[in-house]
Structure 1
Amino acid sequence: MAMRSGSLIRSQHPLAAVLADVEPGSCPSKLNFHCHTTCSDGSLSPGGLAEQALAIGLEHLAVTDHHALGSYPLVLEAFEAAEAAGVRAPTLWRGVEISCLLEGCLVHVLALGFAEQHPSLAPYLLGQAVVGPELRAAAVVEAIHAAGGLALLAHPARYRLPFQRLIAAAAELGFDGAEAWYDYGMQPRWQPTPLVCEAIARDLLARGLLMSCGTDTHGLHLHGR
């Protein structure tokens, strides 16, 4: 049931069309679906992040603070002000990074493009990871889909289990995809890590899953981590 539900949401979600065009060079100048502000463990204020996103000329952005959504209205306000002043602003998607257990391994899930204040996500927006049954990956994916969002496994090659095993398990649970293009070397300026990112992308493509990209910014510059 979870997989059928995920496939249906994935086929109809407007963000899916954007993610279908993700390439190794899409980030950090065009797309960024993974970054953080002072609303969780980032160093940039929401306003500061919005200012940099405008300066870069991003087309699409999701701020994915850990278990927090407080940055969204502030970034949206900054973008609306820019648009009113005649400056093109990125399309802003709701996002949050959620911790969960997948194959007994603690991983992070990027929830993207979900509905505002949907009750299914309420337990995951309290500033810290949940405990108990809601920590299971299946429960997290179900909550994200109930809110009309997409569930993507963040940085699949950063965990103690091989990314092949985690992606296979995620696909079985109805995940919509994973973060294909990621800077595992954490360079001063973001760049996808060769070989591993390409292998992840091939795996996702073979499974018909979506690919995302993001800087995972925690510092003061949106072009890097």
Structure 2
Amino acid sequence: MSVSLFDQFMSPTYLGIPLLAIALTLPWVLYPSPSARWLNNRLLTLQSWFVNRFTQQILTPLSVGGHKWALILTSLMAFILTLNILGLLPYTFTPTTQLSLNLGLAVPLWLATVLIGLRNQPTAALGHLLPEGTPTPLIPILIIIETISLFIRPLALGVRLTANLTAGHLLMQLTSTAAFALLSTSPMVAALTTALLFLLTLLEVAVAMIQAYVFVLLLSLYLQENV
């Protein structure tokens, strides 16, 4: 019986216990805690530099009211980035290939930005649903379209992350399967396929980092509209 290619994206279980919870708590175990020493080691220095640079870049276009989200956005970036990269290791599972997890991250955070906009500036938040100077006959249609586009935002956040990681993992599995199949019949072609697989792995590492950044960047843009 042939195994489906999508079986690798099923949530693994051990003795009936889903291992997704362990995978979600693993990133926080890997990061070292800052120490009280005057001089940190190289790992802590690199970690602090990354956090400072990312926080500065993501909060630059935001107003002062959006700076309260610095801890949430930076932690979310580190969390998604670690899960994406750890999923590229052999015999591992990528939780961010699950649409349910990505929507569970996207929907509450998007809803929080919308509620903040409705609380702080309700006129401007509702004004996004109807551009200024719209002809009267087009007002109902534009309100419906803008409302749909507003509710599609969290779905787009979750589906984008899931689709990019799933497509990359499938392409890597297909390429590795072809390399193993060609090893006995055509070693030269198998070597070329292995080189292609190596390049795909590098590309997938870049995609894992870029998609984590894009997820947080889009969330910060949604927050920028509401603060």
**Shorter-chain-normalised TM-score: which range?**
under 0.3
**TM-score of the two chains, using structure 1 as the length reference:** 0.26
**TM-score of the two chains, using structure 2 as the length reference:** 0.26
Q: Which has the higher helix share?
A: 2
Q: Which has the higher strand share?
A: 1
